Copies of this chain bind each other. A is one copy, B any other.
Amino acid sequence: MVDLAVEIALRRHTRATLTSQLIEGIRRLIRAGRLVEGDRLPSTREGAAALGVSRNVVAEAYDQLAAEGYLEARVGSGSYVAPGLQASLSIVARPAERRVGPPRPLPTPSLRFNAGNPDLRSFPVGAWADSLKRAALRSRERDLGYRSIMGLRELREALSGCLLRQRGIRCDPRLILIVSGITQAVDLLAKGFPPDDRREAIVEDPSLEFVQRAFILNGYRLRPVAVDEAGLRTAELPAESRARFVCVVPSHQYPLGGILPVQRRAALVEFARRKGVWILEDDYDSEFRYQGAPVEPLQLLAPERVVYFGTFSKTMFPALRLAYLVLPEELLSPLVEVKKGLNLFSPTIEQAALAEWITSGRYDAHVYRMKRLYRRKRERVVRAVEACFGASARVLGQSAGLHLLLELTARELDGATIERLRSAGLEIDWVEESAVRKGGHRGQIVIGYGNLSEEEIEAGVRRLAELLG
């Protein structure tokens, strides 16, 4: 019989309890083959005496090892090493320590022109910190549990008012679904239908790659339809398509920046109604419109066919991860089923804090303040492009949003050039990369200016002109 006191050195005053040290010690002996099938272990009394610990410690260790299958207790006879272990354990011999490579050096880009980020330095974190604290203190038992699949009731009610005020959308809060972002929205939509032959989505070409990828990863084929300066070319909507969805960004198309005119809106709605297609309207950037009043959402034209998407990533900050859908009645129950079935819901305390911001008017005030800031930045970009590029580039899509488009008038770019810009520290989005059908957008670069200061904008555009010069 093995002498536990010789084989296992128990240490006191360490983090690990005596019991867990003993368990680990016996496991080690079995793995090393020092204890083999059928070996009898000391009784709890003998073991305790040998190791200088209480019988409880030994008994607990044996119980645990029996529960894990290392030992078996025979009534009236003691504990024995269980059969079948050696063969099993040789198979699962520990592999060598995992190879841990050195951390890859991250490039430190001087200027991030990528679209999407709002001005993070101007976000009032102090006020948000207070709201979060209040929201946590206010949270009720049910808010902390699993019961908010649709989203927090108070946020959906606040949103309902906000949508009417700002976008003219009338919707019952029960048709609003809180999601984490556009890809979760697409995921829910894609999964809300059976895997039939309508797994096809019409997407604007070019358009946001996240949306394209979310459809593809859900087994959908993409059907690209070209975009021009006025958005989706609805005349090219495929007559023979079996598409289930058509995705549009009618307020400020990403990346080309067009506003979909009412004729195309009508054509799109007519197409959707005739073919039973659902329109996913991403109302991207509609809050930051600098010329004229906000454009009417498509949702107003066809609330029974349009899934309206809005996000707080641009008006608040991206890491908040809160966005929403306004659903047509018919889609409510299938989408809620998917959300329930996958237990997908968003953190509730941040939802409550956001609801407070909306109902108190603080949210509107923040958006208003940011809009003035972005307007100034946008003017700075336009002026810098004029000064540095002259007639060799023009600016498109500048009526709204946090980005605009720089189009080289007499030149196309290639991957190598883009790579060169990036390694020189200019993080830019090349429109060609978000095009489904390649070749048509080689001269276009997105200039996201939301999170750059006016000085950075000026320096960045100048650097861009130099590198492309």
**Chain A interface residues toward B at CB < 8 A:** 15, 17, 19-20, 23, 27, 60-61, 63-64, 67-70, 82, 84-85, 87-89, 91-92, 94-95, 98-100, 103, 116-117, 120-121, 123, 125-126, 128-130, 132-134, 136-137, 139, 141-146, 148, 165, 170-172, 174-175, 180-184, 187, 191, 195, 209-210, 213-214, 217-219, 230, 259-267, 269-270, 273, 291-293, 295-296, 300-304, 317-321, 329, 338, 341-350, 399, 451
Contact = CB atoms under 8 A, between A and B. Distances in A.
Question: What is the count of identical protomers in the complex?
Answer: 2
Nearest to A274: B91
B263 A143 contact: no
24 contacts: A15-B165, A17-B293, A64-B292, A64-B295, A67-B261, A69-B262, A89-B262, A91-B273, A98-B170, A98-B303, A98-B304, A99-B329, A103-B174, A117-B145, A123-B144, A126-B137, A129-B133, A144-B317, A181-B343, A183-B342, A187-B342, A209-B341, A210-B341, A319-B345
Given A69-B262, A92-B265, 16 more contacts: A63-B292, A68-B296, A91-B269, A92-B269, A92-B302, A94-B300, A100-B172, A100-B174, A145-B319, A183-B342, A184-B344, A187-B342, A191-B217, A195-B219, A319-B345, A349-B350
A143 B133 CA distance: 19
A98 B329 contact: yes
A60 to B, nearest CB: 6
A82 B266 CA distance: 13
B146 A117 contact: yes
Contact of A319 (B132, B292, B347): B347
Contact of A23 (B99, B214, B293): B293
